[in-house]
Structures are given as structure tokens and as C-alpha cells.
Amino acid sequence: MSELAIRVEDVHKRYRLGTIGSGLIADEVKAIYARLTGRSDPRLTVDQEKDLQRQGMDFWSLRGVSFDVKKGEILGVIGHNGAGKSTLLKLLSRITLPTKGTIRMTGKVSSLLEVGTGFHPELTGKENIYLNGSIMGMRRAEITARLDEIIEFSGIEHHIDTPIKRYSSGMKVRLGFAVAAHMEPDILILDEVLAVGDSAFQKKCLGKMQEVSSKEGRTVIFVSHNLSAVKTLCARAVLLDHGQVTYTGDTSDTIEYYLKANNAALSNVRTFGDDLDREEFKLEEISFKSVGGTVDELLDEYHTIEIHLKIHMKRNGNRSRVNFAMLDDHGVVLFVFSSARGDVHMHDGLNHLVCTLPEGFMNIGTYFLSMYLLQDEKTLLHHEPNIASLQIHEGEREVGKWMGRELGFIKPRFDWRNGSV
């Protein structure tokens, strides 16, 4: 058994709903008096009280989470909003304590939930490097030893003696990252902070992170929404759902499980009702079917597939267009296609767009469509990730032919000829 860096054991976290005080002593005294005399809490409305009696006062953000992390491993934690990712992050970072259960860690632990924590606007860049660094748990001598490196990494040598209230927000982020990148903990707890900063800088940070964990054997826990970042960085991932671990395994398996679980009701039609009723548009329905078929039939690898999109444009319909991105079940974009490339225009009112893929274009598998509504070829009105999933089943094959799945995601039919007649 290789050595463990982190062991999370049966961790629960409860948050109280409703009873978090109004912050006034008088209210609290009334509540205590009411409790003593057996009457109802005066701070709650009758409805609230009924609710609480029905479902209890507590919200369990984590319910019995357990997992181990080996030394030197980069573990991803994924899950949708409200799954308990942030709570887990706070517990691992020791910002708050679990209600039940234990987290054990070995070595020096640092967490990065925000860049530039504790920056003071009146102090200079250099002074803030020291302040931020020591808040993140670095010793003064460590910071001094790496000061030149940090300043160089941040790329703001010229302003290092200027109070940071004169910095642009981008400069502050870079300075914060530079400090963070030079921390040397044994365990690093990392939130989705990489989402900020420009892309060149982001690349620099990702590279630094990979280097840190692969060369120097550090353990990293990376909590993120960004599936491709998790996929790039982590070998193993944990999936959280409603406060419980529902899947642990290779990152790609976990992500696949997550995407499939999210689209449990696989159907070729998705109607939106009032879910996507916005100022500019209202999305009505998206569906798939084969030419001449119905939406109730399964689609297979030989079909000519039509994508039907019903969208009601409330204004500027003629200036708008729709882009789709086709994603594989790991969240990787396979290709993008646009209504602007066919000679189709939208108008105000209900539009029924039909896009036909070439015959037998998609290979067997589960795919995800993500929709972008653009105006004037430049403004993004709306991005709907995961608008629908497309399930392509195996078609009937002639006996004697190979029965397995061909490689790749698409099977385009190109023109071929043999030049040596």
C-alpha cells in the first residue's frame, strides 16, 4: 500500500436553515424565552414553521463523505452546483469544522480558495507579497528566498514598490498567483481560481501546477466545474452528488459517469417550457430525428439525422444566429456548426430551424450539444451548455462484417478515386 496523504472519513457537515440569528440580542432573548415557555419561535412565520416541522431545521451539505488520496496524487473533485464541493473544500482547508467525521492529512497543508487573500491596498506590492505569503502559511525566510522569482513570475517588476491600490485588477491577480505558485506545501487544496487571469498567464499557472506535483511529489486536490481542466490535470476524480460520493475512479470514467447521470432521461426531445424565457428570446424545444422518422425512434449510426430547434425571437431575430458545439462524453468539443453557414436567416417570432447532418455522419456513442445564440456575429446573447444529449446506437450490420465500434466520433464520407486507372 502506498503512503496516504489525506484520509477523509465519514465526513458530515450540517448547516442550519432559518435559525441563524438576526444578529439582534433582543430577538435571541425572545426566542430563548419562547423555547422555555414552550411556545413557537417568534422569529419564524407560521409557514416557515410548518416547513421546518416537515423537513427539519437542518441542511446536510455533506452526508458521509469518505475517500483517500495517495501521496503525490492530483485528485479532482467534480459535481454540479450544490453537490457539496465548496463545503468539502472549506473542510479540507480547515476554514470550518465538520459536524461529524474526521479528515486526516500528513505534511504541510495550504489552500488556495482565492488569489491575493489579505492584500492590503495601502501597502506596496512587495509588502503584500510578504503579507499574502505568510497568510498562506509561508515563513518569512521562505518568501525572502523566493522573492526575486515571485516578482519575475508576476511580471510587474516596475511597480513592485507601488501601493497596490494603484494596480489594475489584473495586476493584483498576477501578483496573487505569483505568490501562490511559489508556495511549497505537501498538500495543496485548490479551488477553481484558475478561472481568472488572462490565458497566457493561466497556461503558466497550470504548467507550474503540473510541474509542482509531478516533479516534487506533492499532493493536490483540485475542485472545479471545468471538466477539461480536471481532465488535463488529474488522474483520478471523485464525483459528489447531494453531499455524497457517487463515483470514484479514473478521471475520464468519473466524468463520463457524471455526464451520463446528468442526462439520465435520454430522450430525443427536450421542451423548455418557461425555463429559458429571456428578454430577447424564448427557447421552446430541441429534438432529433432521422429523415422521414419520428422523435420516438432511436437513432443509429446509419441515419441521416436532423436537429430541430424551435426558438421564439422577441427582437432582432434577423440579426441573430445559432451555433452548436458537439461534445463527446468527456466534455471535449468535437466540432462547431453554425446557422450562418447555411444560408438561413432568423426572424422575429417563432423560428423552426432544421439542421441536417450528412448520412451516417455520427459514430456510435453519447454526445452532447451546447448552444450559443449570437447577435451580429459577435455578441453572445446566450450560452446553454448541455442543451441536449444525442444518443447514437449501433445500427444493424451485415453478418460477417466486423461488429465492434469503429474508432473516432464521426464517419465523414469523402470523395475517393484511384488515380492509376
Partner 1 sequence: MTKVNVENDHGQHWDVVVSPDQPWWNIDFKEIWQYRDLLLLLVRRDLLAIYKQTVLGPLWQLVQPLLTSLMFAFVFGMMGRMAAEGIPPTLFYMAAVVPWIFFANVLNKTSTTLVANANLMTKVYFPRLIAPLATTLSTAVSSLIQLALFFIIALGYRLFAGYAWTLDSSILMLPILLLILVGLGFGLGVMVSAMTTRFRDLAFLVSFGVQLLMYMSPVIFPLEKVDQGSKLRMVLELNPMTPVIEGFRAVLIGSYMEWTTLFYSFGWMVGVILLGLAMFRRVERTYVDVV
Asked whether the beta carbons of 230 and 76 are under 8 A apart, the reply is yes
Mask for 261-300, x = binds partner 1 (CB under 8 A): ----------------------------------------
Is the CB of 16 or the CB of 393 nearer to partner 1? Answer: 16
**Interface with partner 1, residue 23, by CB under 8 A:** yes
Is the CB of 164 or the CB of 322 nearer to partner 1? Answer: 164
Is the CB of 121 or the CB of 207 nearer to partner 1? Answer: 121
**Interface with partner 1, residue 69, by CB under 8 A:** no
Asked whether the beta carbons of 313 and 349 are under 8 A apart, the reply is yes
First-residue to last-residue Cα distance in the chain: 64
Q: Which stretch, 14-22, 198-206, 333-341, 358-366, contacts partner 1 (CB under 8 A)?
A: 14-22
**Interface with partner 1, residue 196, by CB under 8 A:** no
To the nearest whole angstrom, how small is the minimum distance from the Cβ of residue 71 to partner 1?
A: 10
To the nearest whole angstrom, how small is the minimum distance from the Cβ of residue 152 to partner 1?
A: 22
Give per-residue burial for 264-303: e unless 16+ CB within 10 Å, then b.
eeeebebebeeebeeeebbbbbbbbbbeebeeeeebbbeb
Nearest to 385 by CA among 264, 299, 262, 269: 262
**Interface with partner 1, residue 173, by CB under 8 A:** no
CA dihedral (191, 193, 199, 201) positive or negative? negative
To the nearest whole angstrom, how small is the minimum distance from the Cβ of residue 112 to partner 1?
A: 8
Is the CB of 106 or the CB of 228 nearer to partner 1? Answer: 106
**Interface with partner 1, residue 98, by CB under 8 A:** yes
Count the residues of the shown chain that bind partner 1, applying the rule CB under 8 A. Answer: 50
Mask for 138-157, x = binds partner 1 (CB under 8 A): -xx-----------------
To the nearest whole angstrom, how small is the minimum distance from the Cβ of residue 224 to partner 1?
A: 17
To the nearest whole angstrom, how small is the minimum distance from the Cβ of residue 248 to partner 1?
A: 19
Mask for 99-138, x = binds partner 1 (CB under 8 A): xxxxxxxxxxx-x-xx--xx-x-xx---x--xx--xxxx-
To the nearest whole angstrom, how small is the minimum distance from the Cβ of residue 54 to partner 1?
A: 23
For residue 257, give the C-alpha cell: 459517469
**Interface with partner 1, residue 326, by CB under 8 A:** no
**Interface with partner 1, residue 97, by CB under 8 A:** yes
Binding site for partner 1 (CB under 8 A): 1, 3-4, 7, 15-16, 20-21, 23-25, 28, 90-109, 111, 113-114, 117-118, 120, 122-123, 127, 130-131, 134-137, 139-140, 163
